[in-house]
Each structure stands twice: as structure tokens, then as C-alpha cells.
């Protein structure tokens, strides 16, 4: 699945401009700077595939990537930068909710959390949003190369406990590093489960 082509095929800035329903979709969400672009690039083995669309100030859009004609990876705009106006945050929430709620081909959301830092209110808000949209989400820790094993174990336990409070949370947490490749195969295997034959 991950050996072949992975190409950008659609960017949508408005909820009424989504690509037609087709392949199963796996979407990636996370705070700005969580390492989402790096992770998508590590998964697909391509540099600069997921463009820096998540930078503050850049146009926020949902970016769709075609992976081997079998699954679409959906890069959701990063959330949580402090400078954003309230209206921007509300627009983000509205658009994400509309996508999450209405997309019948959306199989799972991969929610990225930075292993090095405390969970933020915005992360918890997004878990609530996912829960309300009734979309199964799976938590993936990023930048694990920068955390000592003991601290990582503590982090996993903390995040697991939080996940347990959400009916929509898939219980297994995956630890990754785009830098070292740690956990990337594990995440690929998880995504491959949703790919069309
Ligand atoms: P995005 O805003 O979520 O798309 O985040 P990026 O992928 O652009 O990464 C944000 C920053 O974190 C960059 O400086 C990356 O080099 C760094 N980064 C991303 N993944 C890792 C990782 O696995 N390990 C380490 N040490 N740094 C990472």
C-alpha cells in the first residue's frame, strides 16, 4: 500500500467543495506544529508531500491525498495557535464538524499529540468534537524520539486514561517519531486495515 504513489488530488476550503465520495478516508488532525506534515511524509515516504499548509496565516484547507487508489489520506488544518481570532476557531470547528459528521467514507481520524508537551485545552476540545461527531479517533503520539522511555510510558498512561473517557476513542495509542521512523510501520499497518482491496 505504501510502496507506490501518493499524490495530492484535492484541496477544499469550503465544506460544500469536497471531492466526490470515493475511496475510504483516514484523516489526520492535530495542533499546529505537532508534526503532522512530517508524519504524513514519513508514512508515505515522500518529502514535502504534505505542504506547509498548516502554518498559521496560511489558507486553511482540507488536503486530500490519494494513496495507491486504495485509501485517501486527509490532512486537516492544524488547530490551536493562540493568535487565531475566536471567529477563526469557530469557523474551523464548524467546517471540521461538518466534514466529520457528514463524510460517510471517513473511516478514522488519527489525532496527533506531541509526546513532549502537556495536553492543551484545544486538544481536549477536539476530542469532544470528534466524540460528538461520532467518528472513531485514534491517538498517535509524535516526536517520541525526544522523550525518555519512562516519561513516554507516563504520557501513554495519561493519554490512555483520557481516551477511555471518550466513547469514540480507539483505545490503542501509537507512539511515533518521524525523525527515527519509530512506530511508523505500526501506524501504516493500522491505516492499511481501511484500504480498499
Ligand atoms: P505540522 O505543523 O503539524 O505539520 O508540523 P511539522 O511536521 O511541520 O513539524 C513541526 C516541527 O516539529 C518541525 O520543526 C519538525 O522538524 C519537528 N518534528 C516533526 N516531527 C518530529 C519528530 O518525530 N521528532 C522531532 N524531534 N521533531 C519533529
- What's the total number of domains in the chain? 1
Cα of 34 vs centre of ligand 1, distance in Å, is: 6
ipTM of the complex: 0.99
Residue nearest to atom 9 of ligand 1 (CA): 35
Q: Give the tens place of pLDDT for each residue, 163-190.
A: 999 999 998 999 999 999 999 999 999 9
Note the pLDDT of residue 81. 73
**How crowded is residue 74: how many other Cβ atoms within 10 Å of its Cβ?**
25
CATH at 60: 3.40.50.300
Question: Domain of 74?
Answer: 6-192
Residue 197 in any domain: the answer is no
Task: For residue 66, give the H/E element and its range.
Answer: strand 62-67
Note the pLDDT of residue 90. 84
Q: Give the tens place of pLDDT for each residue, 26-78.
A: 999 999 999 999 999 999 987 656 554 444 545 578 999 999 999 999 999 89
Cα of 3 vs centre of ligand 1, distance in Å, is: 23
What are the beta bridge partners of residue 31? 79
What mean pLDDT do residues 79-104 have? Answer: 85
**How crowded is residue 116: how many other Cβ atoms within 10 Å of its Cβ?**
15
Note the pLDDT of residue 49. 61
Amino acid at each position: 500500500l505504501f510502496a507506490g504513489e501518493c499524490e495530492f488530488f484535492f484541496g477544499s476550503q469550503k465544506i460544500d467543495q469536497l471531492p466526490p465520495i470515493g475511496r475510504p478516508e483516514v484523516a489526520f488532525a492535530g495542533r499546529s506544529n505537532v508534526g503532522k506534515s512530517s508524519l504524513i511524509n514519513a508514512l508515505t515516504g515522500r518529502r514535502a508531500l504534505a505542504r506547509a499548509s498548516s502554518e498559521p496565516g496560511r489558507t486553511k484547507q482540507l488536503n486530500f491525498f490519494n494513496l495507491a487508489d486504495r485509501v485517501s489520506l486527509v490532512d486537516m488544518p492544524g488547530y490551536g495557535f493562540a493568535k487565531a481570532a475566536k471567529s477563526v476557531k469557530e469557523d474551523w470547528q464548524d467546517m471540521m464538524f461538518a466534514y466529520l459528521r457528514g463524510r460517510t467514507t471517513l473511516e478514522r481520524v488519527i489525532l496527533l499529540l506531541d509526546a513532549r508537551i502537556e495536553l492543551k485545552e484545544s486538544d481536549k476540545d477536539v476530542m469532544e468534537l470528534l466524540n460528538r461527531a461520532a467518528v472513531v479517533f485514534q491517538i498517535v503520539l509524535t516526536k517520541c524520539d525526544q522523550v525518555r522511555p519512562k516519561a513516554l510510558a507516563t504520557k501513554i498512561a495519561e493519554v490512555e486514561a483520557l481516551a477511555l473517557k471518550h466513547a469514540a476513542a480507539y483505545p490503542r495509542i501509537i507512539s511515533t517519531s518521524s525523525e527515527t521512523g519509530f512506530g511508523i510501520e505500526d501506524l501504516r499497518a493500522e491505516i492499511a486495515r481501511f484500504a480498499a482491496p
